[in-house]
Amino acid sequence: MSTDFNAALETRLTRYAAIDSQSDETSPTAPSTQIQFDMLNLLRDELTAIGAQEVQLTDYGVVLATIPGTVQAPTVGFLAHVDTAPQFNATGVKPRVIKGYNGGDITFPDDPDLVLSPDDHPYLAEKIGHDLITASGTTLLGADDKAGVAILMTMAEHLLQNPDAPRPPIRIAFTPDEEIGRGVQPQLEQDLGADFAYTLDGGKVGEIEYESFSADRAIVRITGVSIHPGFAKGRMVNAIHLASKIIQILPQATMTPETTDGRDGFIHATDMQGGSSEMEIRFILRDFERVGLEAKGTLLRAVCAAVAATEPRAEITCEISHQYRNMRYWLETDMTPVDLARDACRDLGVTPVSVPIRGGTDGSRLTEFGTPTPNIFTGMQCIHGPLEWISVQDMSLATQMCLRLAARAAATPK
């Protein structure tokens, strides 16, 4: 099996990363942005061109395709998402390749003050001699998850060019809106038709992840009393002040993303907008356990109620909705897909590592719907910001691992 995937992966990722496909949490559509179709249509056409079968773009924005199996074995799914994170600028991405990284600081042409240093990022220090891909300094790169897209397209092309290589039936899915927790619609589980699956959406080489946060979303709406400020004494109720009280009362030192790590969850205010008459605060709630997630929702509601009690003329509502749940709850009952991935990793001489994801993947939702879906490394680092980078050689290892995984799955009884 040829393992010379570097050129194909570099070409694909730099091409994909230059396409703006950012998702938008405030949009009600599926996908949330029309620009994601620029990626989805491209991938549908590329899959068709390389000879994949049953290629389709669903009405809910997922590209699906089949790579026929050569043996009777469980059908295996592979997924990656096309959208990029809304937290940072993703328009006008200019990918660049640093050949044979020399181990020093990396600077950025569009922001001379920005520095990516191995002193601050120890994993970078391990990549001397690798070919690295970054953006130019004013945007994210989008390796999350266009690296996963590039890896799966390269794997698919290799398998289709080697029709006799042992493999199970394989289903490919490219999803939208993963970054806003809406990448997996309920019908995808049936449409994918896999016995188990994998997302290519992880970080360091060797990471095989089967535990994620459980997640809810919360929207707090505050309606005050609006009146001309010149005549407001005793009459105005300023919604901004009430919103500020809610933020201040919530635990700042122990329950925010910047004060937690490991297995600690958090309440994160992601957006606040409005004015003195009306305000809206958006939160995400995260915990590895259901009971902890429920407790955070209870706390947020209690804080809103306490602030509302200080000003009966105001109206404060707190709406909490389900996003996804820790995939461990289902995967721990049957670790077969995780064990297969670990064995495939060892086949490459790489020690598998499993750590809880302080986030979620499409696999969190898909596992909850009934298709066990752990997460596999791509090599992406410093995601969701201007320092984002990835090693082409790490991506090549991920591609090789997917091929080894397919070969091992081919030997699994149907």
The reply to whether 6-212+326-410 and 215-323 are identical in fold is no
Q: Give me the catalytic one of 20, 83, 177, 216.
A: 83
pLDDT tens for 371-395 read 999 999 999 999 999 999 999 999 9
Which of 178, 195, 311, 388 is catalytic? The answer is 178
83 is catalytic: yes
User: Class of the 6-212+326-410 domain?
Assistant: alpha beta
Q: Give the residue extent of every domain in the chain.
A: 6-212+326-410, 215-323
Is the distance from CB of 346 to CB of 299 less than 8 angstroms? Answer: no
| DSSP string for 229-296 | GGG-TTT-B-HHHHHHHHHHHS-TTTSSGGG--TT--EEEEEEEEE-SSEEEEEEEEEESSHHHHHHH
Question: What is the pTM assigned to this prediction?
Answer: 0.92
Q: What DSSP character marks residue 180?
A: G
Domain range 215-323, its CATH number among 3.40.50.720, 3.30.1380.20, 3.30.530.20, 3.30.70.360: 3.30.70.360
Binding residues for Zn(2+): 81, 144, 179, 201, 384
Annotated binding site: 81, 144, 179, 201, 384
Residue-level pLDDT, tens digit, the chain, 414 residues:
446 899 999 999 999 999 999 999 889 999 999 999 999 999 999 999 999 999 999 999 999 999 999 999 999 999 999 999 998 999 999 999 999 999 999 999 999 999 999 999 999 999 999 999 999 999 999 999 999 999 999 999 999 999 998 999 999 999 999 999 899 999 999 999 999 999 999 999 999 999 999 999 999 999 999 999 999 999 999 999 999 999 999 999 999 999 999 999 999 999 999 999 999 999 999 999 999 999 999 999 999 999 999 999 999 999 999 999 999 999 999 999 999 999 999 999 999 999 999 999 999 999 999 999 999 999 999 999 999 999 999 999 999 999 999 999 999 887
Q: Which strand (E) or helix (H) includes residue 201? A: strand 196-202
Q: What is the pLDDT of residues 107-148, one digit of tens each?
A: 999 999 999 999 999 999 999 999 999 999 999 999 999 999
